[in-house]
Amino acid sequence: RILEVAPGRYWIADMGSWEPKRGRLLEMTLPADGAAPRRARIAVLASSLDRPSGLAMGPDGKVYVGEAGAVWRTSVGAPGAAPQREAVLDGLPDDGTHPLKEIAFGPGNRLYVNIGSSSDNCRTGKDAPALPCPDGEGAKPRAAVYEAQLGGPQLAVQRFAPFATGLRNSMALAVLPGSAEGRVLQGENSIDYHDPRDPPEKLNLLQRGRHYGWPYCVGNRKAAQGYEGRFDCSRTEAPLALWPAHAAPLQMIPGPAHTPFAGQLLVAWRGPQPSGHRVVGFRLGKNGLPEGKPIDWLSGWHAQDGVRPMGRPTGLTVDRAGRLLVVEDFNRTVLMLLPSTPSPAPTPQP
């Protein structure tokens, strides 16, 4: 993840190669004169973090950081200053296949948190997948997006409960305006079939208390392998849209106003198939929801000898200058897409 915390200052969550307590919080500083990004300076603000992933600016002006088992916040201090960690949520599940936390803020001081499933498809070995799946049971299910209601002078957590369930791994969360709660969108990383064309990833419009299918259903309410004839997928919510199989959406953000990305939902597709390793946008229709075919902002990101390695985008942001910054973890790089500038008018010739 990457986030602009002040003009020319960007915080980056470095997950630490999936190793517990190896993560870092970095600060990248760009020259104030808008010179070439390769002159950026990198400083380590914090180390020994546990697989940090989520990174968001809160309504209180503080930066919220999602580690595997906790969410904390800090004020933005002077450049290079260590964060002053303040606990927001502790004791979150940090084991299993999907321990990473994505976070996104909605209206009314609501914070949405990914609590990923503990397995790919609720199957152990060659046994039939469990019914019901233990991840979805009890008062604190996994495979869910939770909602934290913050309130009071210090924006303390007043309530933390499941918002929507049946969601394998919600590493792409975004909240669009349009209601008192906002419209919570989730990009679903679907079950890992060996078929490169199946199952499709999903874009879901989350509604409170609804179930979205995992592990019983994939695609547009189709029974998942091992659940054929065992579960009625019509009981689950249909997706807003289907995305290419194995595209692996890993972050979504609304395009800020007054930038080339205004009126779009931007998505990082990291997946290894041709559908992945690109950044796309979807235009927001009259109903305020994404529609139509993807707009390729960064595409064709396959390996080419002597030119470039394969790139796999994981996080993105658009800064105050309208530049798209993308964290690409396969080669540990940050890329910047600059706004185009009009070409000068040709000089009239006699």
What are the φ/ψ torsions at residue 37 (nearest 5 degrees)? -60, -20
pLDDT score for 350: 40
In contact, 329 and 335? CB cutoff 8 Å: no
Cα separation values, 263 from 257, 289, 309, Å: 7, 10, 31
Q: 38-42, 99-103, 218-222, 254-258: which has the minimum mean pLDDT? A: 38-42
C-alpha 82, offset from chain centre: 25
Omega of the bond leading into 153 within 30 degrees of 0 (cis): no
Which residue, among 138, 15, 124, has the nearest Cα to 65 in the 3D structure?
A: 15
Token representation of residue 122? 């609720």
- pLDDT class for 308, splitting at 50, 70, 90? confident
Q: For 108-122, how does the pLDDT look when each residue is reduced to its tens digit (9 = 90+)?
A: 999 999 999 999 999
Q: For 154-194, how does the pLDDT look when each residue is reduced to its tens digit (9 = 90+)?
A: 999 999 999 999 999 999 999 998 777 789 999 999 999 99
Q: 34-43, 101-110, 195-204: which has the minimum mean pLDDT? A: 34-43
**Residue 93: which residues within 8 A CB-CB, separation 6 or more?**
69, 99, 115, 118, 142
In contact, 111 and 148? CB cutoff 8 Å: yes
Token representation of residue 30? 């760009």
pLDDT at 343 over 50: no
Measured from the Cβ of residue 286, the count of other Cβ atoms closer than 10 Å reads: 6
pTM to 2 decimal places: 0.94
